[in-house]
Amino acid sequence: MSEKDQNKTSGSKKMQVNVMPVRSVGVRRKRMISAVLKNVLLAILSIIWLIPILWLLVSAFNKDPGINYAHFFPSKGWTFANFINLFKSNSAVMYLRWFFNTLVIAAFTCIISTIFVFMVSYAFACCRFEGRAGLMRLSMVINMFPGVLSMIAVYFIMKSIGLTESHIGMIVVYSAGSGLGYLIVKGYMDTIPASLREAAKLEGASEFDVFKEIIFPLCRPIAVYQIISSFLIPWGDFVFAKLMLGHDVKNFTIAIGLYGMLSKENLPRYFSQFCAGGILISIPISVLFVLMQKYYVEGVTSGSTKG
């Protein structure tokens, strides 16, 4: 209580009796107003955030295959055909094929890069060898070299070994350099007590045994994060796929396939199908994201100094 209030209370008992209820009603009203305002604000923001998604959803059920310029909701009626047509391949749209292309690339990318990341993380977190700090610093600098910049050079290197326009090339592009993304997993390994490793080594375990039997099982939660996040890369990547996969529609991944559906000549015919395809692809991706979400925050903030 402030000084003013104290003066009032000591001044007269009558005033105190009168003032207290009035104040609490005022506070309650203030709280009510602020709560209402907050909820209204959230509602407005939600509407802003959901309108484009709603447009995606209603356009996916639009009977008109092209883009609807005049009305938000379909004016020519609703249909489910856009989803069905996705599974009928033609020369421009091979959704199922794209899906499996991406799935295969993602599966291999995920396996290779998870293995690479764990190998590098263990070496940096648990092994002590000459030049370790220097290598870590060097890898941080190299990691600053954005993939988009190197893509021309990567393209020509891949071309010189004959891996452009092939899915093997895409897997190499996505996974070969993945060892650089070790920071999150290494940070997790750093939190595992070294005494566990020391004890195992006293019992005669080699580093390999420690890695296989102790550290890897303990890293399972972060492994989930690593597996899912590397699995998601090929689904969202646009640049490399566009550059590497050439013009053959049946080689496309989902991302460039859907992009192609919105080219000038395709837009009037395929916009509604694009929306349907976008929604379909969201389902598996969002399931994976929800699975990963628990570790997502930890992953993003793991670069900080803990404690």
Partner 1 sequence: MKKKKYRLYGKKKKVTFAQSLAKYFKDFGTAVSKGDKAVKLSLVLMGAGFFARKQLMKGIIISAVQLMYILLLIFWAIPNLADFGTLGTVELQMVFDPATGKNIVNDYDNSFMILISSITAILTLVVFILWYIHNIKEVYKLQLRAEQGKYINNFFDELQTYKGANFHRTLLTLPTLGIILMNILPLFVLVAVAFTNYDKDHMPPNALLSWVGFENFKTLFSSGGMSLTFGYAFGKIVSWTFVWAVVATFTCFIGGIALAVLINSQGVVLPKMWRTFFMVTIAVPQFVTLLLMRNFFRDDGIVNTLASNSGLLDFFKNIGLVKPNMSYIPFLSGGSVGWAKFMLILINIWVGVPYQMLIATGVLMNAPQDQIESARIDGASKWQIFWKIIVPYILVVQGPALITDFVRNINNFNVIYLLTQDLYITSDMKMANSSAKEVDLLVTWLFRLTNEDYNYKMASVVGIIVFIICIAFTLVSYSRLMKGNKEEDYQL
Q: Per CB under 8 A, which of residues 181..200 are in contact with partner 1?
A: 190-195, 198
x/- track of binding to partner 1 for residues 29-48 (CB under 8 A): --xx-xx--xx-xx--xx-x
Q: Least distance in Å: CB of 178 to partner 1?
A: 7
When asked if residue 61 is in the footprint of partner 1 (CB under 8 A), the reply is no
Q: Candidates 176, 199, 221, 268: give the one binding partner 1 (CB under 8 A).
A: 176
Q: Does 202 participate in binding partner 1 (rule CB under 8 A)? A: no
8 A C-beta contact, residue 112 and residue 178: yes
Torsion of CA 175, 178, 184, 187, to 10 degrees: 130
14, 70, 91, 217: residue in contact with partner 1 (rule CB under 8 A): 70
Binding mask 278-297 for partner 1 (x = CB under 8 A): xx-xx--xx--x---x--xx
Q: What is the DSSP string of 174-225?
A: HHGGGGGTTHHHHHHHHTS-HHHHHHHHHTT--HHHIIIIIIHHHTHHHHHH
Give the range of 69-77, 91-99, 101-109, 222-230 binding partner 1 by CB under 8 A: 69-77
72 is a contact residue toward partner 1 (CB under 8 A): yes
Dihedral sign (CA 120, 125, 128, 133): positive
CB of 66 to partner 1, least distance (A): 11
CB of 250 to partner 1, least distance (A): 20
What tokens were used for 98?
Answer: 């794209």
> What is the closest distance, in whole angstroms, from the C-beta atom of residue 125 to partner 1 in the complex?
8
Only one residue has tokens 């969002």, namely 286
* Residues 74-133 close enough to bind partner 1 by CB under 8 A: 116, 119-120, 122-123, 125, 127-129, 132
Which residues inside 253-272 make contact with partner 1, applying CB under 8 A?
255, 258-259, 262, 264, 267, 271
Inter-CA distances, 208 with 102, 213, 282, 293, 307, Å: 33, 8, 40, 31, 31
State the CB neighbour count (10 A cutoff) for residue 70. Answer: 5
Residue type, 123: A
- Whole-number minimum distance, CB 12 to partner 1, in Å? 26
Sequence-distant (6+) residues with CB within 8 A of 158 are: 164, 169, 172, 173, 244
